[in-house]
């Protein structure tokens, strides 16, 4: 009789995408909440377990752990030029007293958080590692089209992964690019944001680390965590298909919009009027913004997967990764 081999538990993680300006806490604070909620979920807190209830697969061992963090920011921030310099007083760590300069302080803070949680019984998620990688992508946020192309190529490459998108991490151009790209490619699972008054902190404000270990903190964390109730609808395919039809034929019958094919209700037709399309009677023609939006999608480089994305952005010289020394180095 063959002996049944127990399969290794699955650990499919979350890819977090975020912009970042001169306040690294906009990235580290939400991640801190995630790791604290993972800790309480491990302890059996029902509210924390429910927070990760839609993550991963049904038979997965642990759900919701960050697998990769990808941050979009400017070359000035990455290289710490005068224009993008992040001063030490803009990165306060009252919990663990991390004192390194940016960009090292981000992984240094996270490492101390992981060490502290490991002492409380939480184990690393990926064969001894808490996260598989932290990447920075260089973008020129003053050029929305170029920013969108890099953001959208990333989202497309990760479209089959579980994506959580931070909506307050960077400047408006990056956040808007993340929002549109997630909607274009039916990619994002969650659009989230966390607000706090003291933007210089790398951790949640108004609480010590020891206090976050109390089960009552779960409610505080969930009250601070907010999500946009948005559903991605593969708008990219709809827009490009419509633009091609109208370019070829000039106008089409309103029934040829085929909204239901892309998950859109017929009630959406008035919302398209005046922007994407012009409607006169039952005839639909090109609106003032349709071609520009379609061109954005058309220019997006369709990178197949995460591995290919790393190679492509590495060749372009715009991808940086924290190495084992927690130094931010350019990917070759």
Could you report the per-residue pLDDT of 279-312, keeping only the tens digit for each? 888 899 988 778 887 888 888 899 999 999 999 9
Where does CATH 1.10.10.10 sit in the chain?
A: 235-298
Tens digit of each residue's pLDDT (9 = 90 or more) over 101-116 = 999 999 999 999 999 9
For residue 162, the SS3 value is: strand
Strand 188-194, strand 225-228: pairing? antiparallel
d(CA 244, CA 323): 45
> Which H or E run includes 152?
helix 144-157
Dig out the tokens for 28 from the structure.
């580290």
14-228: which CATH topology?
Rossmann fold (3.40.50)
Range 235-298: architecture per CATH: Orthogonal Bundle (1.10)
Tens digit of each residue's pLDDT (9 = 90 or more) over 31-60 = 999 999 999 999 999 999 999 988 887 777
> Which H or E run includes 183?
helix 172-184
Smallest CA-to-CA distance from 322 within 84, 115, 7, 68 is with 68
Q: Which residues touch 52 (CB under 8 Å, ≥6 apart)?
A: 37, 38, 41, 63, 64
Burial class (CB in 10 A: 0-12, 13-18, 19+), 85: middle
């Amino acid at each position: 009789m063959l002996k049944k081999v127990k399969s290794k538990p699955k650990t499919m993680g979350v890819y977090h995408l975020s912009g970042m300006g001169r306040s690294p806490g906009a990235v580290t604070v939400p991640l801190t909440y995630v790791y604290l909620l993972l800790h309480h979920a491990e302890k059996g807190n029902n509210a924390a377990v429910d927070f990760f209830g839609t993550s991963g697969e049904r038979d997965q061992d642990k759900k919701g752990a960050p697998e990769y963090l990808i941050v979009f920011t400017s070359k000035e921030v990455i290289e710490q030029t005068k224009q993008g310099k992040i001063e030490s007083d803009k990165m306060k760590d009252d919990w663990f007293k991390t004192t390194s300069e940016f960009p090292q302080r981000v992984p240094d803070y996270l490492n101390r958080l992981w060490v502290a949680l490991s002492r409380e019984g939480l184990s690393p998620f990926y064969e001894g590692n808490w996260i598989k990688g932290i990447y920075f992508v260089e973008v020129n946020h003053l050029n929305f089209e170029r920013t969108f192309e890099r953001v959208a190529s990333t989202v497309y490459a990760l479209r089959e992964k579980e994506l959580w998108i931070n909506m307050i991490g960077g400047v408006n151009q990056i956040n808007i690019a993340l929002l549109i790209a997630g909607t274009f490619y039916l990619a994002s699972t969650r659009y989230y944001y966390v607000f706090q008054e003291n933007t210089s902190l790398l951790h949640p404000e108004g609480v010590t680390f020891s206090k976050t270990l109390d089960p009552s903190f779960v409610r505080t964390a969930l009250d601070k965590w907010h999500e946009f109730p948005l559903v991605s609808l593969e708008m990219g395919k709809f827009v490009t298909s419509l633009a091609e039809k109208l370019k070829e034929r000039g106008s089409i019958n309103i029934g040829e919009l085929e909204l239901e094919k892309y998950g859109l209700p017929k009630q959406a037709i008035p919302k398209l009027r005046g922007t994407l399309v012009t409607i006169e009677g039952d005839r639909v023609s090109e609106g003032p913004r349709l071609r520009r939006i379609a061109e954005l999608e058309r220019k997006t480089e369709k990178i197949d997967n995460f591995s290919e994305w790393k190679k492509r952005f590495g060749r372009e010289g715009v991808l940086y990764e924290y190495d084992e020394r927690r130094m931010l180095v350019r990917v070759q």
